[in-house]
């Protein structure tokens, strides 16, 4: 668990060094005017990614849930997770449940951002998934911007929360999110950061999967040890 936290912290520190302090590779040779390096462009989120909502099949219809195998993520799956990398969801829905709700399948490694009540928690999962309506799922237009978008949004969590509206509970709606401005670095910087950060994500994912296998083995072996079917 400590290694996972250190890997995520390393990615966050690189983001801050490159894109907040502007000490990215080759920064000595780039002209900066009003805090913007040459070649960097300000855009709206809607110009650099697709933002997708979610939905919940009726819980009164068993055919939408029983023996479902489609990963359906809720904010609780993310908020109780101990890192950015998510491996699975607590609940699954069926193909029929997907068709009869506003939930939409999104590709592996879509940036999942909680958008309602508990706002600004993030997750990546290496499978095709859908979510309930408590998310904005962010699909980058360019693959090399995925890690930059993820860590940019993590860094801007308080700003995201400040833009949320609502009386019963706070929510950042898709139209507001799509108008967020974001500074897009030059292509070579995006490529470099994407490679660095993805390497950290891959290591975290590997550790999470190893930990899961160890837990599964522990859960199988412990009862056998307790009842004496395995001798120590």
Q: What are the pLDDT digits (tens) for 96-151?
A: 999 999 999 999 999 999 999 899 999 999 999 999 999 999 999 999 999 999 99
Under the banding of pLDDT at 50, 70 and 90, the label for residue 72 is: very high
Indicate the burial class of 132 (C-beta count within 10 angstroms; 0-12, 13-18, 19 or more). Answer: buried
Rounded to the nearest angstrom, the gap between the alpha carbon of residue 53 and the centroid of all alpha carbons in its chain is 14
The pTM score is 0.90
Residue 31 has pLDDT above 80, yes or no: yes
pLDDT band at 66 (very low <50, low <70, confident <90, very high): very high
Q: Which fold has domain 2-227?
A: Adenine-n6-DNA-methyltransferase TaqI; Chain A, domain 2 (3.90.220)
Map out the domains of the chain as residue ranges.
Answer: 2-227
Averaged confidence pLDDT in the chain: 93
Distance CA 152, CA 57 (A): 32
Distant-in-sequence, close-in-space partners of 89: CB < 8 Å, separation ≥ 6: 71, 72, 73, 74, 77, 129
pLDDT at position 1 is: 72
């Amino acid at each position: 668990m400590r290694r996972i936290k250190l890997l995520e912290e390393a990615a966050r520190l690189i983001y801050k060094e490159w894109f907040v302090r502007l000490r990215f590779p080759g920064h000595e040779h780039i002209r900066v005017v009003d805090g913007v390096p040459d070649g960097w462009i300000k855009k709206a989120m809607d110009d650099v990614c697709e933002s997708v909502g979610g939905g919940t099949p009726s819980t009164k219809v068993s055919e939408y849930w029983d023996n479902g195998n489609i990963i359906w993520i809720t904010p609780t799956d993310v908020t109780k997770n101990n890192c950015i990398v998510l491996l699975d969801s607590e609940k699954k829905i069926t193909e029929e449940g997907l068709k009869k709700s506003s939930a939409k399948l999104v590709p592996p490694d879509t940036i999942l951002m909680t958008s309602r009540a508990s706002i600004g928690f993030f997750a990546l999962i290496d499978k095709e998934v859908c979510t309930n309506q408590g998310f904005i799922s962010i699909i980058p237009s360019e693959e090399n911007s995925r890690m930059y978008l993820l860590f940019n949004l993590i860094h801007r969590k308080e700003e995201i929360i400040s833009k949320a509206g609502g009386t019963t509970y706070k929510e950042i709606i898709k139209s507001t999110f799509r108008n967020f401005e974001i500074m897009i670095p030059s292509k070579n910087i995006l490529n470099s950061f994407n490679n660095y950060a993805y390497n950290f994500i891959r290591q975290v994912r590997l550790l999470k999967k190893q930990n899961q296998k160890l837990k599964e083995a522990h859960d199988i072996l412990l009862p056998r040890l307790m009842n004496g079917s395995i001798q120590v």
